[in-house]
Amino acid sequence: MKITLKVWRQANKDAKGSMKTYRLDDVSEDMSFLEMLDMLNEDLTTKGGEPVAFDSDCREGICGMCGVVIKGSAHGRYESPIATTTCQLHMRYFADGAVIEVEPWRAGAFPVVKDLVVDRSAFDRIIQAGGFISANTGSAPEAHSTPAPKHLADRAFDNACCIGCGACVAACPNGSGMLFTAAKITHLANLPQGQPERHSRVKAMVAAHDGVGFGGCQNVGECAAVCPKKVPLESIAQLNRDLFASLFKSV
């Protein structure tokens, strides 16, 4: 396949960036999108240019390290028939001769580090605010002492599978991190072990979310549409219910 790439190049966080055009003539359908970018970088390097910086690690859709906007959609969601991360998107979904724009996540809370790489440490700060269960090592009771109803454990799982990639933020017109926050709230709120801190958690995490520069949620729903792990939009409703309930608790 022949591909034309228009890639965002930005030297560092303070530099002004712009789109640059590159051509690749020998792309195979079996390549993943990132393998195609590897090919571009090998080509740039041998020709004396500077390779495009982009993040990836596991390349199997689970670590959440990769993520770019492809032809206007986060992870190229609208190029793929199924939910996907950038690393799992394959070139077979693009037509020969395609022109593909590649840009970094754009959101106030995710400053660009270089080219397609952004700083997502704001997510870690939301977790620090309360995205955990306080259980020191060694203090745990026998695992079977508290059964957890299967349907609730399953719902917890459907949210715990969030990989923290940030596609939800990139897709949101307000740059909101509410789906990410809601996924953690819903994961922990559906388990018996998560109950003691349920109300303090939601308050603290939402406050941290707003504090680190994410925008507010206006229920656009684009976040869930691009989520590679299909975290449901209803989780935001759960967050709002818990947040409302927490107002009446002295936590």
Partner 1 sequence: MAVTKKSKPSTYFSLGADIHDTKAPAGPIDKKWQARQLQAKLVNPANRRKLTVIIVGTGLAGAAAGATLGEAGYNVHSFCYQDSPRRAHSIAAQGGINAAKNYRNDNDSVHRLFYDTVKGGDYRARETNVYRLAEISAGIIDQCVAQGVPFAREYGGLLDTRSFGGVQVQRTFYARGQTGQQLLIGAYQALERQVAAGTVTMHSRHDMMEVIVHNGKARGIVTRDLISGKIEAWYADAVVLASGGYGNVFFLSTNAMGSNVTAAWRAHRKGAYMANPCYTQIHPTCIPVQGDHQSKLTLMSESLRNDGRIWVPKDPADAEKDPRQIPEEDRDYYLERIYPSFGNLVPRDIASRQAKYMCDDGRGVGPLISEVTQEGVSQQRRRGVYLDFADAIARLGKAAVEKLYGNLFDMYAQITGEDPYATPMRIYPAVHYVMGGLWVDYDLMSSIPGLYVAGEANFSDHGANRLGASALMQGLGDGYFVLPNTINDYLADGPFEKIDDATPAAVEALEAAKARVDRLLAVDGTRTVDSFHREVGAIMWEYCGMERTEEGLQIAIEKIRALREEFWTNVKVPGTGVDFNQALERAGRVIDFIDLAELMCIDALNRRESCGGHFRRESQTEDGEALRHDDEFAYVAAWEYAGDGEAPILHMEPLNYEAIELKQRSYK
108 CB contacts (<8 Å, ≥6 apart)? 175, 213, 214, 215
CB 226 within 8 A of CB 171: yes
- 3-state secondary structure labels for all residues of 22-47: EEECCCCCCCEHHHHHHHHHHHHHHC
Q: Which part of the chain contacts partner 1 (CB under 8 A), choosing from 15-23, 38-46, 70-78, 219-227?
A: 38-46
Minimal distance, residue 70 CB to ligand FES, in Å: 13
> Does residue 65 bind ligand FES (CB under 6 A)?
yes
State which of residues 8, 24, 54, 64 lies at the interface with ligand FES (CB under 6 A). Answer: 64
For residues 140-179, which are near partner 1 according to CB under 8 A? Answer: 140-144, 146-150, 153, 156-157, 160-161, 163-164
> Nearest 5°: phi and psi at 110?
-120, 75
* DSSP-assigned states of every residue in 187-222: HHHTSGGGSTTHHHHHHHHHHHHHHTTPBPP----H
Of 97 and 144, the one with the shorter C-beta distance to partner 1 is: 144
State which of residues 5, 52, 66, 202 lies at the interface with ligand FES (CB under 6 A). Answer: 66
State which of residues 70, 87, 129, 217 lies at the interface with ligand FES (CB under 6 A). Answer: 87
> Does residue 63 bind ligand FES (CB under 6 A)?
yes
User: Can you tell me the distance from the alpha carbon of 115 to that of 50, in angstroms, rounded to the nearest whole number?
Assistant: 11
State which of residues 31, 35, 38, 59 lies at the interface with ligand FES (CB under 6 A). Answer: 59
Of 46 and 250, the one with the shorter C-beta distance to partner 1 is: 46
User: Can you tell me the distance from the alpha carbon of 202 to that of 200, in angstroms, rounded to the nearest whole number?
Assistant: 6
> Does residue 138 bind partner 1 (CB under 8 A)?
yes
